[in-house]
Every structure is written in structure tokens, then in C-alpha cells.
Structure 1
């Protein structure tokens, strides 16, 4: 058995903000992927994955019993497959902010959910919100609290535009200009990040009035503007807003940025050669970068691994 492939994702804009109703834009990233497989002779990572699926199946049984009207699963079949050596074979790095648990959740829903909503049907807003709610519930097993967006992106393999908590749609983004000098890239921080403690830190900061007002008046304002600019292809305006956003993140989300990148972050803002932002919850993993000139950015970041994900 080898299941269908589910891809990683990149949340271009909206990290943390979408918890508080900012806009967001998430795109599939086909470089990394995962699929369910069965191997009767498990060892190493595959064995660990198989054991993790046992705990996940028990959790899915709990949520099926609690809210069968939202989602239920063929758990007998899932348990049989797990006992025969099913595991999630994935190239998606864990703790890097590119949706490793999201792809697993999408694969399990696809294979075992009863009455599943499929990619082939007409995806109304109601269906998308229902899928997002199901995926949020499923992925909470891994993160404590999940918006459900990562699995949604992985499941549909389409860019998702988040207008607000209750308003999401699949969208198209301007097609890439492979000759273009502008680029979105991933920068490897060299360490993994844990989502749950970062989200907890954010929730604690949200108790401070100053932080809440910064989030609303600066962070969400610039995030929303970046999403509008990106979707509509307003590149000049996009980079103006990105600079502001990068600044706000450096000033207010320092604990989420690995220490050794604080200076690099500032350098980008001062030189305008690139702008950095969080990729996912931060704390490690990938950092997201935007540049109008990839050659200049490569030169400035020559000591780091750069992976281009989109060309303007």
C-alpha cells in the first residue's frame, strides 16, 4: 500500500495574526511531501511514526465520540493498518514551519474519514470552513491548538486566502516569473522550533494591552496589506509593506526569532537587500525571506542555506 502524496505548505502571511482575525495567505510547497505506507518490518523513524499513529488513532476515537456530527473515522480499518505496519513516510522536516503534521492529518482524513469532503466537489465556503474545523480538531493532537489551515492547504493542494476566521477561499496567485529577480525564499535556521511553547508565549503576550494594540494597529495592518499586494501582484507596494512588517516582527516578536538571526534581520531592513519574517510559529526551523534581487540577497546571506520557493 502506498497512499496519495500530501505536500508541505508555506504560510506566506498571517502567522499569529490569523489567531486574531488578520488576513493570511498559505501556498502549497511541492518540494516536500509525505504518504502513508505499510511495511511489515519496521525500524527507525518508520517504527516511531507507526507508534505515533497508535496514539493518534486513540485521540481520533475520542474526538469521534465527542462530536460524531463533525467527523467520524473508520477506526477498525485504521487500527488494522497500523498493526500491519502503517507509517507516514515523509520528507517534510519536522519543527520547521512547513506543515509536517498538516500533511499527516490530511493523509489520515483522506484515507479514513466517513463522508469525507473531496477535492473534486464544489468547494463552497461552508465546506471549506467545515474542513478547516475538522482539521483544526485533528491537528490539535500535535500542537495543543490548531487553526486547521496547514492540513487544509495540504489536502487541497491549492493556495488558501484567509479573509477572516469565518471567511476563507481557495485563490489563485500571480504565476511565477522564473526569469524575475524578485523571490520568496526559505532560510534554514539550523534548529527546529516547537509550535506549542511559541503559541503559549504569544497568548501570554496577548494579556498586555500594549501588545494587543500593536498587533491590531501595526502587525495585522501590514499583514493584511501584504496579502492584498501579493494576490494582486502589486510588487512595489508589497515590498514597502514587507519592510514595515519585518520591522514590527523584530521589535515585538524577538523571542520567536532565533538569537543569531536578530542582527541579520536588522541588516536586511537597513540595506533593503532582503526582508525576513517568521515562517510558522518561529523559534527555529525556517525563516521566510523576500527580496527584489535574489543575487544581492544570496551575496548578503552567503553563509546560509537559501531555498527559493517563488519567483517574481
Structure 2
């Protein structure tokens, strides 16, 4: 039997905002992937032990949802998650594992080939419950995109739809910058929720972030570069002012320089604090020169 692989993901727009019902746009990232495998020599591996603990959590919290007889039987065979998705980098390492476990052991699995808004919403809710083990609280979006492996437009918490995005191979690019160290989602999310207690922050999030974020999504899916980059500058500037604790310290100077020169704009990839930062540029070769001190990975060309 062919063992399915589950790819990484990139949340292009909507980081943190989707918690407060902002729009989001997420795409698969097939540069990294993971799959459940078996090897009796893996009983002492970290991955195997992690899945054992995860299985205990699922059995306690979602006892009717999974075939635990098969799950525990496979764990006795040395099951582990063979993944090259970097952990703590904002590209869906836990989401891919959640998707893999759901795909193999869910009792009433929702068929990914017969999707509608209702079934996508149910999947998201279920995945949010499953992934909360890793982050304390989860929107369910990461496992959803890892499971479905298609671009998703998040209109609201209850309204998610599949979408096609323009294809291109021009000078422009979306890219990743490696900050050099992983981040921890839990503490970053906690900082965000503390900020939400401040009326001023909530106001600017709902009025300014949502405006720039939604305009970026609209321009991106329509292939309109000028409004995309106008709003990316606003979005990058907003994040620098309001989400600075989430920006990896060694990236701050490069972040500011992008806004100053207009050669590229940076934004958070995932929860921040470390891992990857997401970049957008009209001229990738120029951005590479400007960011020569960093390791860049291309996500999308246009």
C-alpha cells in the first residue's frame, strides 16, 4: 500500500488576524513533506515517543473519533512520522502530522474529493481540536491545508473555500528567509492574546490590519501587482509597529530596510519568534542581493 505524504504549508496572508476572523490565504508548499512509517528500530526515537503521547491525548479527548485499536497496534510496530518539515519554522510541521493521523485513523473520515463549504468547516473544527495538543489553541487551518493540499481562501472562521491562484514565472517572487533558529508558537500566541486585551490594539487590528490584509489577498488572487505591493508595504509597516515582539531579532534590520528601499517587503510566516519570515518582491534577483546575509527559499514566482 502506498503511504501518503503530507506537504508543508504557507499562510501567505492572515497570520494572527484569522484568530479574530480576518481573511486568510494559504497554499501548499511541497518543498517539505512528512508521512507515517514503520520501523521496529524506532521505539526509542523522539518521533515515535511523541506520537505515543499524542495518541494518549486523542484517546482521552476525542475517544469516539479514531480507530485506537489500529493506532496502538501500529505504534507497537514502531510507527513514527518521517518528516523533513522543520519544526518551529511556521510551515506546518504539526499540521502535517495531524493530517496524517486523521487520514489513517479517523473513524468517519471526510472525503477530500467531495468537498463543500460545510465539509471544509467541519474538517477545520476537527483539526483545530486535534492540533490544540501542540499549541494550546489552534484555528485548524494548518492541518486543513496539509490534508487537502490545495490553496484555500479563508473568508471567516466559518467560511473557507478552495481557490485557484495565478501561475507565473516572472521576476517577482514570494520567498522565505531563514532566521536561523526555530520559534515556539505557544508563547507567541500568548503575547498576541495579551495584546488583544488592549483596546487600542484591537481597534488597529480590526481597522488597519484587516484593511491591508484583505486588500493584499484580493490583489494577489487577481494577479494585480501594484495594489498588492502598495498594501504589502502598509502590512509590513503595521506588523513592525504592532507585532514587533514576534519578529526574530536578527531580521528587524532587514525588515526595516525593505520598507525603506521598497525592494522587498517582509511579513510573519506563522506565529513568528523565529523560524521563517515571508518575503515579497517584484525583483527576486535584487532581493537576493539585498538579503545576501540570509538563506532564501522560493515559494512562488510571478
Tell me if 1:110 matches 2:108. no
How far apart in 2 are the matches of 1:202 and 1:298? 31
Change (3 A) 1:37 1:131: same
Q: TM-score, normalised by structure 2?
A: 0.98
Partner of 1:145: helix, strand, or coil?
coil
Matched with 2:180 is: 190
How far apart in 1 are the matches of 2:60 and 2:221? 39
The 5 A counterparts of 1:31-110 are 31-42=31-42, 47-65=45-63, 68=64, 72-110=65-103
Tell me if 1:311 matches 2:292. no
- Note the C-alpha offset of 1:124: 1.2
Partner of 2:40: helix, strand, or coil?
coil
- Does the CA-based 8 Å contact 2:6-2:35 persist in structure 1? yes
Tell me how many residue pairs correspond in the alignment.
302
Within the candidate set 171, 191, 215, 1:201 is matched to: 191
The 5 A counterparts of 1:240-251 are 240-251=230-241
How far apart in 2 are the matches of 1:285 and 1:150? 16
Matched with 2:25 is: 25
- Note the C-alpha offset of 1:21: 0.7
Matched with 2:154 is: 162
The 5 A counterparts of 1:151-300 are 151-175=143-167, 177-178=168-169, 180-300=170-290
| Deviation by residue 1:194-225 (Cα, 9 ceiling, x = unmatched) | 00100000000100111111101111111111
Change (3 A) 1:58 1:2: farther
- Does the CA-based 8 Å contact 1:2-1:37 persist in structure 2? no
- Note the C-alpha offset of 1:272: 0.5
| Deviation by residue 1:244-280 (Cα, 9 ceiling, x = unmatched) | 0000000111100111211111100010010000000
Partner of 1:84: helix, strand, or coil?
coil
How far apart in 1 are the matches of 2:245 and 2:18? 19
- Note the C-alpha offset of 1:43: 6.8
- Note the C-alpha offset of 1:83: 1.3
Q: TM-score, normalised by structure 1?
A: 0.95
- Does the CA-based 8 Å contact 2:18-2:156 persist in structure 1? yes
How far apart in 2 are the matches of 1:148 and 1:28? 15
Partner of 1:41: helix, strand, or coil?
helix
How far apart in 1 are the matches of 2:222 and 2:279? 19
- Over 6 Å off, 4+ runs: none
Matched with 2:130 is: 138
- Note the C-alpha offset of 1:3: 2.4
How far apart in 1 are the matches of 2:83 and 2:110? 24
- Does the CA-based 8 Å contact 1:185-1:288 persist in structure 2? yes
- Note the C-alpha offset of 1:64: 2.1
Aligned Cα RMSD in Å? Answer: 1.1
Q: Which runs of 5 or more residues in structure 1 are unaligned? A: none
Q: Which runs of 5 or more residues in structure 2 are unaligned? A: none
